[in-house]
Amino acid sequence: MHAAPRPLTLAADGPLSGHVRVPGDKSISHRALMLSALAVGTSRVSGLLEGEDVLATAAALRACGAGIDRQADGDWLIDGVGVGGLLQPLNALDMGNSGTSTRLLMGLFASHALTVTFVGDASLSRRPMQRVIDPLRRMGADISASPGGRLPLMQRGLCPAIPIVHDLPVASAQVKSAVLLAGLNAPGATTVIERTPTRDHSERMLAGFGAEVTVEPVPGGSAITVRGGAELRPRDIVVPGDPSSAAFPAVAALIVPGSEVLIEGVGLNPTRDGLYRVLAMMGADIARENSRLVGGEPVADLRVRAGPLIGIEVPPEVAPSMIDEYPILFVAAALASGRTVMRGIEELRVKESDRIATMAAGLRACGVECEEVPDGLIVTGRDGAPVPGGATVASMLDHRIAMSFAVLGLRADQPVIVDDAAPIATSFPDFLPLMTGLGARVG
């Protein structure tokens, strides 16, 4: 459970400046722990995100027999047990606020002969799991969920699992990854067909650990196939900076006049960099410097300079590559000129909160005109003028909502008070010192 509410207000007395490094990519950190736990031998992970969500994954894998230890130098060593070698946990696994931990671990455990109970906090317990439950049941897992396909739920895995072909009804990297992880301990080929590309960290990392993974075009999409029975090899992994976390100092630098910020070592996988492409369409001055590959993932330093933004109609097809970044895009849109139309993002309604409704309510409270539609939000920007502010906004236990409104407060006439900053620790424990190091102040 989260600590007592901790209100937060950020303000800026002048330009933001400096160079920073954001925490390790959350998606890659989860997967690095999981696949290392299934390898035979010891893997080393550098740059692991040490937020609450990733630590929940580490605790769950440790409870199932994997050796996971943080070293004095900040690296993590994982002693894997091999595919199929995980042990029965003694207690329920507490996922905290992490939907990624829950959905991916459900897949990983579905092809082990384990009975596992998943529990989570109030926010996670409202999030639907049915889209993961359905394919895992087809693979042989016996899953008893709370009403609405929610936590708490109990899962009895089948070893070996039944290989399936699963056509994703909704673009979801989490569902894709859950099925592929289950397929590691199923005989033959397990295939996921996706009609809209989603983040491909699982495919890249599975191949890196020695699994046989293929990606082939099919009519209307792609077929991603993993062949079960592989012995995963341990490896050393360097986790790049999380593009979702980098979005907050980036947008802060764009909207505070005179700012220039360098964000080092940001992962810019083309299935994850949609926000930066959209901001460029809005006229943002964001330069990619020192582009390179780190552990098979494209990485660059981002130099961000303040400047005017123009409202646009965001192409709906970009949504899967930036679904977590829409709350901070709403903030950028609030300072742009003209209207920014964001559609095709109904997935935001089943995140840690209903991010469309929550952000719309907070923006209106701060004096920003916006229109909520079933699948999105239309924001009328203030043409670079500060928002009126002077409101307390509800974060709804959602880390990205809390950080987004904290950034909005940097360009507000009156304080924007986030009712509870405690959830920020789930993904960005050093958010506050990073922002104050760039020149923001608290209060």
1 pLDDT band (50/70/90 cuts)? Answer: very low
> Could you tell me if 148 and 252 lie in one domain?
no
Q: Check if the beta carbon of residue 398 is closer than 8 Å to that of residue 423.
A: yes
Distance CA 116, CA 253 (A): 45
For residue 137, give the amino acid letter: R
> Could you tell me if 279 and 219 lie in one domain?
no
Q: Which of 320, 342, 317 is nearest to 331 (CA)?
A: 342
Distance CA 89, CA 37 (A): 14
Mean pLDDT of 319-332: 95
Q: Is residue 153 part of a domain?
A: yes
Query: Pick from 238, 273, 299: which residue ends a domain?
Result: 238
Q: Is residue 2 part of a domain?
A: no
pLDDT tens track for 199-232 = 999 999 999 999 999 999 999 999 999 999 989 9
Domain span holding position 385: 10-24+240-442
Query: Pick from 196, 214, 238: which residue ends a domain?
Result: 238
Q: Is 69 annotated as ligand-binding?
A: no
> Could you tell me if 17 and 30 lie in one domain?
no
294 pLDDT band (50/70/90 cuts)? Answer: confident
Q: Which of 251, 248, 243, 249 is nearest to 299 (CA)?
A: 243
Composition of the chain by helix, strand, coil, percent to 5: 35, 30, 35
By percentage, how much of the chain surpasses pLDDT 90?
94
Q: Is 413 a catalytic residue?
A: no
In this predicted structure, the answer to whether residue 295 has a pLDDT above a threshold of 90 is: no
In this predicted structure, the answer to whether residue 128 has a pLDDT above a threshold of 60 is: yes
Mean pLDDT of 344-360: 91
Point out the least confidently predicted range of 132-136, 157-161, 275-279, 424-428: 424-428
> Could you tell me if 222 and 278 lie in one domain?
no
Q: Find the helix or strand (DSSP H, E) in which 32 lies.
A: helix 26-38
Query: Pick from 238, 262, 283: which residue ends a domain?
Result: 238
In this predicted structure, the answer to whether residue 23 has a pLDDT above a threshold of 50 is: yes
In this predicted structure, the answer to whether residue 351 has a pLDDT above a threshold of 90 is: no
Sign for the CA dihedral angle at 92, 98, 103, 104 comes to negative
In this predicted structure, the answer to whether residue 416 has a pLDDT above a threshold of 90 is: yes
> Could you tell me if 182 and 307 lie in one domain?
no
Residue 230: predicted pLDDT: 87
Q: Is residue 3 part of a domain?
A: no
Q: Which two tokens stand for residue 268?
A: 């810019």
Q: Which two tokens stand for residue 125?
A: 């317990």
> Could you tell me if 274 and 197 lie in one domain?
no
Q: Check if the beta carbon of residue 326 is closer than 8 Å to that of residue 349.
A: no
Q: Is 107 annotated as ligand-binding?
A: no
Residue 359: predicted pLDDT: 97
Q: Is 130 annotated as ligand-binding?
A: no
Q: Is residue 60 part of a domain?
A: yes
> Could you tell me if 281 and 377 lie in one domain?
yes
Mean pLDDT of 399-404: 96
> Could you tell me if 274 and 392 lie in one domain?
yes
Q: Is residue 126 part of a domain?
A: yes
Residue 282: predicted pLDDT: 98
In this predicted structure, the answer to whether residue 2 has a pLDDT above a threshold of 50 is: no
Q: Is residue 1 part of a domain?
A: no
By percentage, how much of the chain surpasses pLDDT 70?
99
Angle between helices 243-255 and 274-281 (to 10 degrees): 20
Q: Is residue 438 part of a domain?
A: yes
Phi, psi of 300 (to 5 degrees): -155, 165
Q: Is 176 annotated as ligand-binding?
A: no
> Could you tell me if 264 and 336 lie in one domain?
yes
85 pLDDT band (50/70/90 cuts)? Answer: very high
Q: Check if the beta carbon of residue 131 is closer than 8 Å to that of residue 157.
A: no
pLDDT tens track for 161-201 = 999 999 999 889 999 999 999 999 999 999 999 999 999 99
- Report the CATH number that the domain containing residue 192 is assigned in CATH: 3.65.10.10
Distance CA 198, CA 319 (A): 9
> Could you tell me if 89 and 194 lie in one domain?
yes
Residue 3: predicted pLDDT: 58
> Could you tell me if 47 and 170 lie in one domain?
yes
Contacts of residue 24, Cβ cutoff 8 Å, sequence gap at least 6: 47, 48, 49, 239, 240, 241, 242
Q: Is residue 4 part of a domain?
A: no
Residue 79: predicted pLDDT: 98
Distance CA 182, CA 110 (A): 6
Q: Is 343 annotated as ligand-binding?
A: no
In this predicted structure, the answer to whether residue 316 has a pLDDT above a threshold of 60 is: yes
Which residue among the candidates 324, 354, 398, 420 is catalytic per the annotation? 324
> Could you tell me if 251 and 264 lie in one domain?
yes
Domain count, the chain: 2
Distance CA 430, CA 428 (A): 6
Mean pLDDT of 92-108: 97
